[in-house]
Amino acid sequence: MDSDPKDPNETWARCLLTLEHRVSKQSFGNWFRPTRISTFTHETLVITVPSVISADWLKENYLQIIQEVVFEETQTRPDVTFRVNREVGPRLNPAPSPESAGYKKTEQTMLPLQTENVNQKPDHPPSLNSLYSFDSFVIGEGNQFAHAAAHAVAKSPGKTQFNPLFIFGGVGLGKTHLLQAIGNSAFALKPAQKIVCVPSEKFLSDFIDSLKNKNTVDFRRLYRSADILLIDDIQFLFMRGEHTQTEFFHTFNALHQNGKQIVMTCDSPPEKLEGLEERLLSRFQWGLITPIEPPDLETRIAILRQKAEINGITLPHEVAAFLGNYISSNVRDLEGALVHLMAYCSVHNTELSVQAAKYVVKERGPGFTSELTIESIQKHVANHFDVPLDILISKSRKQDIAQARHIAMYLTKRLTKFPLKMIGLKFGNRDHSTVVHAINSVKKKQSHDRSFRISVDRLLENIGRQYQNRD
Ligand code: ADP
Ligand code: MG
């Protein structure tokens, strides 16, 4: 830790005392009380918080006030950044006061924020997010089998009967969490192992790039030298056709023959995967294929309480029960509602109560979705124009269908961060120049056709509203 100011913890404690008078009691308890300092110099202030949510919330809502108070205390204007370290949470009630000795505790493991991959150690596999651990995974009836298999695989990769391990289930049920937990746990047990963890889109685009750049040797070296290959959302791999599938087939064989572990997640069981070749299907059946089911009420409540605890908040049982009862669809939605509730109570300076939870679920609306996927935009547009979904993404050149398709592509580009290549892939395997053409044709029509522009704007707004309700 830097030595300037002299005692950074004490200086931060003083800042906190001032901040306590500038923000609401609830906000202070939720967001400021669990903070610690890891670096405090004239140039840099690194504030450690217990969760990504806290970091985002502080950054978005309180950065300026933090800067002001720091200036008042130190007459300096350091750059303020946030780091996540779950060790600083949970702060269960009663929480320590700013001047308590807790602030003198030194930090051990820091999780850098603002990168997609939150790592615990410099040599941690960069594709693993260390927040997704077995410890933070709540076990319930719907996921206990998948969890047990994942745990066994992490302990003895390639040496159990679960090779490959194929985990499937709906959106937001914890597939990625479990996949990453395998990687994190295996790494912690044996850091020398080579763990490759990628979404299937990455495997796909790496492969396509390697063909383009004529360096398939490097591609193969990367994927075939893994001790553990973790592939997320494998369903996207089989939409692209033969070459990718053949490449994956050989990667699979090379790894499996050498006793290396393969784990895949998917949105459906392998036999329902359209376009999956028989030879791969039979290989998937060599190991274990296990579903993750939506959590039951008890598990939903346990998850809510655990997420609250990670954020340093005590969630009254009746509030957890209310949210758990109300939101049964998936864990991501549960999390979203909880964050929304925490934010609501903080802004309005009210207790976490059933009444506040009722308000929040009403605000989020009955049909909100946490997933702004390409598919959800396609569905929305298909409904709007009354075109069957498969026709929307088909090769049909009928003018009204092609126009609806162009609008769907345009909205996807506006509302998501998916690369054009991915958008084309999801729209009937079109290439990226077709997507560019579609987007441009919408823009052009918007510029001279007012009613068209209004109708596209309205769609954008409607779908965007769902998006904003995410968290
Ligand atoms: P999927 O990959 O199945 O769409 P994720 O793994 O991304 O879902 O999970 C969505 C969110 O819900 C993540 O923040 C994850 O940590 C959380 N989550 C899902 N299942 C659990 C669980 N059993 N315990 C704790 N958190 C969970
Ligand atoms: Mg996932």
- Spatial separation of the C-alpha atoms in residues 417 and 404, rounded to whole Å: 20
Contacts of 21 (CB under 8 A, 6+ apart): none
DSSP string, 124-166: S-TT--TT--STTPPP-TTTHHHHHHHHHHHHSTTSSS-SSEE
Query: Between 196 and 422, where is the model more confident?
Result: 196
Residue 311 is predicted with a pLDDT of: 79
Domains 8-117 and 144-292 share a fold: no
User: Which option is the CATH number for 8-117: 3.30.300.180, 3.90.1150.10, 3.40.470.10, 3.40.50.300?
Assistant: 3.30.300.180
Identify whether 90 is preceded by a cis peptide bond (ω within 30 of 0): yes
pLDDT at residue 264 in the model: 98
Residue 411 clears pLDDT 60, i.e. is over it: yes
Q: What is the pLDDT of residue 124?
A: 63
- DSSP assignment of 18-64 equals HHHHHS-HHHIIIIITT-EEEEE-SSEEEEEES-HHHHHHHHHHHHH
Q: 85-132, pLDDT tens digit by residue?
A: 766 543 322 233 333 322 222 222 222 222 223 334 445 676 788 889
Going by alpha carbons, the residue nearest to atom 11 of ligand 1 is 332
Q: How confident is the model at residue 56 (pLDDT cuts 50, 70, 90)?
A: confident
| Domain layout of the chain by residue ranges | 8-117, 144-292, 374-468
Ligand 1 centre distance from Cα of residue 225 (Å): 29
Lowest-confidence segment of 26-40, 270-284, 403-417 by average pLDDT: 26-40
Torsion on CA atoms 100, 103, 105, 111, rounded to nearest 10: 150
Topology annotation, domain 374-468:
Chromosomal Replication Initiator Protein Dnaa; Chain: A; (1.10.1750)
* Residue 368 clears pLDDT 50, i.e. is over it: no
Residues 6+ apart with CB under 8 A from 161: 287, 288
pLDDT at 166 over 70: yes
CA of 332 to the centre of ligand 1 (A): 6
Query: What digits encode the pLDDT tens for the residues 272-319?
Result: 888 889 999 999 999 999 999 989 999 999 999 999 888 788 899 999
- 146 CB neighbour count, 10 Å cutoff: 26
Ligand 1, CB cutoff 6 Å, lining residues: 136-138, 143, 169, 171-177, 303, 331-332, 335
> What's residue 376's pLDDT?
84
Higher pLDDT, 98 or 355: 355
Residue of minimum CA distance from atom 6 in ligand 1: 174
Ligand 2 centroid, distance to 265 Cα (angstroms): 8
Rounded mean pLDDT of 129-158? 94
Q: pLDDT class for 61, splitting at 50, 70, 90?
A: confident
The mean predicted confidence, pLDDT, of the chain is: 83
Question: Is CATH 3.40.50.300 the right assignment for the domain spanning 144-292?
Answer: yes
